Amino acid sequence: MNKITKGSHTQWAVAVVSFLESTVMPIPLELLLIPLMQIDRKRMWHLALAALLGCIGGALFGYAAGNFFQTSVSDWIVSAAGGKEQLVTVGEMLREKGFWFVFSVGVTPVPFQIAMVAAGVSGYSIFGFLAATALSRALRYFGLAALVWRFGDAAEEIYKRHRLAVGLTVTGVVVLLWILFGR
């Protein structure tokens, strides 16, 4: 296991898994990322960056699928992530509060696929979309690296034990920020 996690291709593998997680596999990347960071703490910040870049690549793919292939590819992604009803609701939210909506989906435990396809379908600004995606996912992945940096081997247990409370707190803070600044 040590050979695999400290190999030269680990960062690429994390980027690929992050791309897949953000496009077709709504499985939390944290389940893989935290143990990898614990095993190779010298590269944990690089692993966070690889996850961020893979996610941004996946987000661009999802945005393009929504924007250019509104029926074929986006339908497949939407069905994998929750359905057409969610896409319509998300499209309305994007028109009203695009940046805050994408940001909130990016930091909360909500499947990101709906937000990225809806952003493409609705024609939401690619720059606003990328800014919200990069900021929210950087907070998420580099926050995990900070957790491992601070708590070491206990980080995974702390994450598992407090995942729901942190998710609800982050969601509450994002909703508050959305109310205060998302107008």
Residue 160's pLDDT band, with cuts at 50, 70 and 90, is confident
Average pLDDT over residues 23-40: 86
Greatest Cα-to-Cα distance within the chain, rounded to the nearest angstrom: 50
Which amino acid is located at 96 in the chain? E
* Higher pLDDT pick, 110 / 14: 14
pLDDT digits (tens, 9 = 90+) for 72-114: 555 655 565 556 666 666 667 777 778 888 888 888 777 788 7
More confident residue, 17 or 74: 17
pLDDT of residue 82: 57
pLDDT score at 149: 94
3-state SS string for 70-134: CCCHHHHHHHHHCCHHHHHHHHHHHHHHHHHHHHHHHHCCCCHHHHHHHHHHHCCCHHHHHHHHH
pLDDT for 106-153, tens place per residue? 887 777 887 887 788 878 889 999 999 999 999 989 999 999 999 988
**Global pTM?**
0.81
| 3-state secondary structure at position 25 | coil
Look at residue 23 in the predicted model and tell me its pLDDT.
84
Task: Report the helix count and the strand count for the chain, using DSSP H and E.
Answer: 9, 0
Average pLDDT, the chain: 81
Nearest to 22 by CA among 123, 93, 130, 106: 106
Q: Looking at this protein, which amino acid is placed at residue 17? A: V
CB atoms within 10 A of CB 150: 10
